Structure 1
Amino acid sequence: MYIPAHFAETDLNTLHQLIMSHPFGVLITHGSQGLDANHLPFELHCDEGDFGTLHGHVARNNPVWQALNHGDEVLIIFTAGDAYISPQWYPSKQKSHQQVPSWNYMVAHAYGKITIHDDERYVRGVVARLTRTHEASQPVAWKMTDAPKDYIDSMLKLIVGIEIEITRIEGKSKLSQNKEHRDIAGAAHALNASGHRVIAQAMQVIPDKNT
């Protein structure tokens, strides 16, 4: 990923928080069948390995887990938000007209080595933890024990676990940091008004380099 210095996000805790807040990632692989991309929810264990470890699962019918070998390198992309930026939103444009359209976004790229877990204990643990995490916001949280045991057992047989030890992680927060602060504020205000609040709020906390 091309990362100019002013857009680089290097703080590991910040990158971990991005992943945990936006855990639906794109798993990029290059296995025996060539390039492939799968969209999957992941669970991050920050304290496993130097950069954390990702846990998830895929459908047994998905050929990706058979196309890979233990230890193959993979890439997972996590996106926190994105938004089009109109040059009309920059106050400086009204004076100089020297602005062009752009696109702002926040992403994390996690590179790692994959391990396939075709065993019921691992898969059950991943599903249970993902369920607890994502059901926590519901008025009445669904639990695996809400369904008949034989039904859950049969469903677990239809998925295969994957574990990815992160060996390198890159982050990019493109939030108009290369612009004047008044232009950042103008774009953030317009984004907030149009409903793109994730990017707007991230831009609003960028410090003014002139203060």
Structure 2
Amino acid sequence: MYLPNHFKETDPAVLHRFVKEHSLGALVIQGSHGLSAEHLPLLLETNEAGLSILKAHVARASQLWQEVLKGHDEALVIFQGPSAYVSPSWYASKLETHRVVPTYNYATVHAYGRIKVRDDVQWVRGLAARLTREHEATQDTPWRMTDAPADFIDEQLSRIVGIEIHISRLEGKWKMSQNRSEADRKGVLQGLHRESMPQATETAAEMARVMLRTSPE
């Protein structure tokens, strides 16, 4: 992706936080019949060597994991965060020059790596349990795999195949008006807060976080 320096995010802690908070990723590979994509909840973990690995499962009926077994194992996973339209009328500089245009503010992380298939029921069971704990943690009464009949869980697990992606490169792009003046950035924040859509509120919060992190001491 096009990545100007003022939008580039390289801090591993920030990138990892983002992936964990926006864990539904678009997994893209180049297969036998062209590009193929799956939208999957992914778990980010670190192995004994300190390397980052994304773990997920796909339907056994999916062609994606079979393409990997054929050698099409190079992958890109796209994690998309908050995004919102930015009106040029929000910029303070509009009143001065009128040399402004509409844009979008957004945050995204691209993870590159190679996929390994884990067609192992015990591995898949362990992953499903960890994914469940991760996503049920906010519930008043978290659902557990043991809440369902064992034979039903066994049947469901037989229908999925595990995959893991060993990350070779992470790229983060936070396009949050860093290339605008302080007055323009404040105008964008005010404009986003006036919008009624949740995405605008979330984008404003991420933008404020970026401004705080990049402001001079």
| Common fold by TM > 0.5 | yes
Deviations 1:41-90 (A, max 9, x none): 00000456555100000001111110113682100000111111100111
User: For 1:18-167, what aligned pairs fall within 5 Å after superposition?
Assistant: 18-47=18-47, 51-69=51-69, 72-167=73-168
What CA distance in whole angstroms lies between the structure 1 residues aligned with 2:39 and 2:203? 22
Unmatched 5+ stretches in structure 2? none
Contact 2:90 2:187 survives alignment (8 Å): yes
**Which residues of structure 1 form unaligned runs of 5+?**
none
- 1:198 aligns to 2:202 (yes or no): yes
Structure number with the higher helix fraction is 2
TM-score with structure 1 setting the length: 0.94
Distance change (3 Å), C-alpha of 1:50 and 1:108: farther
Matched letter for residue 201 of structure 2: R
- Check the 8 A contact 1:58/1:161 in 2, yes or no: yes
Contact 1:105 1:175 in 2 (8 A): yes
After superposition, give the CA deviation of every residue in 1:111-141 in whole Å (9 maximum; x if it has no partner): 0110001110111011100000101111111
SS in 1 for 2:96: helix
Of all paired residues, the percent bearing the same amino acid is 46
What amino acid is aligned across from residue 204 of structure 1 in structure 2?
A: A
Structure 1 contact 23–78 (Cα < 8 Å) conserved: yes
Q: Which amino acid aligns with 2:203?
A: I
Q: Conserved in 2, the CA contact under 8 Å of 1:33 and 1:67?
A: no
Against the structure 1 CA distance between its residues 177 and 48, is the aligned structure 2 distance closer, same or farther, given a 3 Å change threshold?
Answer: farther
SS of 1:68's equivalent?
helix
TM-score of the two chains, using structure 2 as the length reference: 0.92
SS at match of 2:143: coil
CA distance in 2, matches of 1:177, 1:102: 13
Instruction: Give every structure 1 segment of 4 or more consecutive aligned residues whose post-TM-superposition deviation is greater than 6 Å.
Output: 208-211
